[in-house]
Amino acid sequence: MSSVLIDDIGELVTNSPGEGEAGPLGIRRNVALLVEEGRVAWIGPTRDAPAADRRIDAEGAAVLPGFVDSHAHLVFAGDRAAEFAARMAGQPYTGGGIRTTVGATRAASDDELRATVRRLRAEAMRQGTTTMETKSGYGLTVADEARSLRIAAEVTEETTFLGAHVVPAEYADRPDDYVGMVCGPMLAAAAPYARWIDVFCERGAFGVNHARAILACGQAVGLGVRVHANQLGPGPGVRLGVELGAASVDHCTHLSDADVNALAGSPTVATLLPGAEFSTRSPYPDARRLLDAGVTVALATDCNPGSSYTSSMPFCVALAVREMRMTPGEAVWAATAGGAAALRRDDIGRLRPGARADLMILDAPSHLHLAYRPGVPLIRQVLHNGVPQCRP
Ligand SMILES: N=CN[C@@H](CCC(=O)O)C(=O)O
Ligand SMILES: [Zn+2]
């Protein structure tokens, strides 16, 4: 693979404290960055930049690590635009529409599902997302969960088995049987394509005992734990995640002091999904409370056809700053290094020698512009594994 030199970077966000200016973003100014073999090989003053096979002139713009979107649901068919319109007219979001998408997904061909996954992955890449987790959870049969993950694994190494998204209609009066199936044949079929296991632990989805049993089965076959929790109301999901050593508990909209304290004393990341609150017209999570308590916070899109049909991490950064009292720097960190922490990855989300060369060049002089100029396509160019992607 050839080398690429990005020079005349006005502001480089390294997310490596000690590398540059004080603060978690580790900002360096007026530098160049050399990529070799898909990795960051060197960072230094532009005047000292080594030769390379190819040169990209950043023209004084900001360069950031690529976004790490640690929570998305890309494998589905159909859309729920009418449900969204009804919500905007006053209907509440209950999660009940998940079953609508399950019906459409089961009826779709592999190629139809693959086309949607690839379209959304490409859409996200154009907006700076270089790593994107994706979950199953709209199949809810052994065969449909396995094929969802097989298709997801074609575009990402961060795949999550969410057979416990909701109890499907055919098991509505025998949820224990469904949990037995999830832990047995469904897990066996899904695990070869999955890195993580997740459960929607919420009233109307799975209670804490079912959630604990399912997550423990996943752990027993080597999957890492993540939990959808405390989205629609208070509950035990966040503390269950901490108890099981989850990499991340996601949503975290309705938290007690005990939940916040449990997170603060643990390595579990709180992943906040402001696209869901936007699209369900719900109160946003209190990011300030979590940050002030010392909790590691990530931001992700929750891209799915029901509660958050956006693939845009810049949109989530802007929402987090405007609606959740995060500073622009906190939001950028949470959308990059925070997402990496939520996936227990140290090779992405930062720019330092040895890191994967996943990065974006903005059409702006500073990371501040991501929140300051909402809705504006500011991602000029993306490099993934050191390879320049198509320009938007
Ligand atoms: N909360 C559960 N699952 C998704 C919603 C899925 C849907 O409504 O289709 C979420 O993360 O918001
Ligand atoms: Zn989700």
Decide: residue 205, CB within 10 A, 0-12 exposed, 13-18 middle, 19+ buried: buried
pLDDT in tens, 162-178: 999 999 999 999 999 99
151 and 178 in a single domain? The answer is yes
* Residue 392: per-residue pLDDT: 46
**Residue 269 pLDDT grade (very low, low, confident, very high; cuts 50, 70, 90):** very high
Residues 238 and 191 both lie in one domain: yes
Tell me: do 44 and 86 sit in the same domain: no
The arrangement of strands across the sheet holding 224-229 comes to 134-135, 159-164, 196-201, 224-229, 248-251, 269-272, 297-299
Per-residue H/E/C for the chain: CCCEEEEEEEEECCCCCCCCCCCCCCCEEEEEEEEECCEEEEEEEHHHCCCCCEEEECCCCEEEECEEECCECCCCCCCCHHHHHHHHCCCCCCCCCHHHHHHHHHHCCHHHHHHHHHHHHHHHHHCCEEEECEECCCCCCHHHHHHHHHHHCCCCCCEEEEEECCCCHHHCCCHHHHHHHHHHHHHHHHHHHCCEEEEEECCCCECHHHHHHHHHHHHHCCCEEEEEECCCCCCCHHHHHHHCCCCEEEECCCCCHHHHHHHHCCCCEEEECHHHHHHHCCCCCCHHHHHHCCCCEEECCCEECCCECCCCHHHHHHHHHHHCCCCHHHHHHHHHHHHHHHCCCCCCCCCCCCCECCEEEECCCCCCHHHHCCCCCCEEEEEECCEECCCC
Instruction: Report the relative pairing of strands 159-164 and 4-12 from DSSP bridges.
Output: unpaired
Q: For the segment 329-387, what is each residue's pLDDT rounded down to a tens digit? A: 999 999 999 999 999 999 999 999 999 999 999 999 999 999 999 999 999 999 999 99
**134 and 117 within one domain:** yes
Same domain membership, residue 328 and residue 239: yes
Ligand 1 contact via 95 beta carbon (within 6 Å): yes
15 lines ligand 1 (CB under 6 A): no
- The owner of tokens 């209609």 is 169
Same domain, 49 and 139: no
List C-alpha distances in Å: 7 to 1, 32, 391. 19, 4, 18
Same domain, 355 and 252: no
Distance (Å, whole) CA 36 – CA 356: 10
CA distance 142 to 210: 18
CATH of the domain at 107: 3.20.20.140
Site to probe by mutation for ligand 1, drawn from 307, 308, 309 as the one with most ligand atoms within 8 Å of Cβ, is 307
101 lines ligand 1 (CB under 6 A): yes
One-letter amino acid identity for 211?
Answer: A
How many domains are contained in the chain? 2
Q: What local confidence, expressed as pLDDT, does residue 17 receive? A: 85
Determine the residue of 71, 73, 120 to mutate for testing ligand 1's pocket, defined as the one with the most ligand atoms within 8 A of the Cβ atom.
73
Whole-structure pTM value? 0.98
Residue 43 to residue 46: CA distance in whole angstroms: 9
Give the CATH number for residue 45. 2.30.40.10
Instruction: Report the C-alpha gap between 82 and 89 in whole angstroms.
Output: 11
- Distance between CA atoms of residues 330 and 157, nearest Å: 26
Spatial separation of the C-alpha atoms in residues 312 and 370, rounded to whole Å: 11
State if residue 228 touches ligand 1 by the CB under 6 angstroms criterion: yes
Residue where one domain finishes, among candidates 342, 357, 378: 342
- Pair (297, 208) in one structural domain: yes
Cα 30 to ligand 1 centre (Å)? 42
304 labeled part of a ligand binding site? yes
**Same domain assignment for residues 163 and 62:** no
Write out the residue range of the structural domain in which residue 82 sits: 68-342
Residues 224 and 283 in one domain: yes
* Confidence class for position 2, pLDDT limits 50, 70, 90: confident
Q: Could you tell me whether strands 297-299 and 4-12 are parallel, antiparallel, or unpaired per DSSP bridges?
A: unpaired
Strand partners, 228: 200, 250
pLDDT in tens, 210-250: 999 999 999 999 999 999 999 999 999 999 999 999 999 99
Q: Which residue, by CA, sits nearest to atom 8 of ligand 1?
A: 306
271 lines ligand 1 (CB under 6 A): no
Q: Give the number of other Cβ atoms within 10 Å of residue 117's Cβ.
A: 22
Q: What is the pLDDT of residues 57-104, one digit of tens each?
A: 999 999 999 999 999 999 999 999 999 999 999 999 998 999 999 999
Helix 110-126 crosses helix 142-152 at what angle (to 10 degrees)?
40
* 249 and 365 assigned to the same domain: no
Q: 388 CA to middle of ligand 2, Å?
A: 30
- Asked if 253 and 231 touch (Cβ cutoff 8 Å), the reply is yes
Same domain, 18 and 32: yes
Are 107 and 148 a contacting pair, CB within 8 Å? no
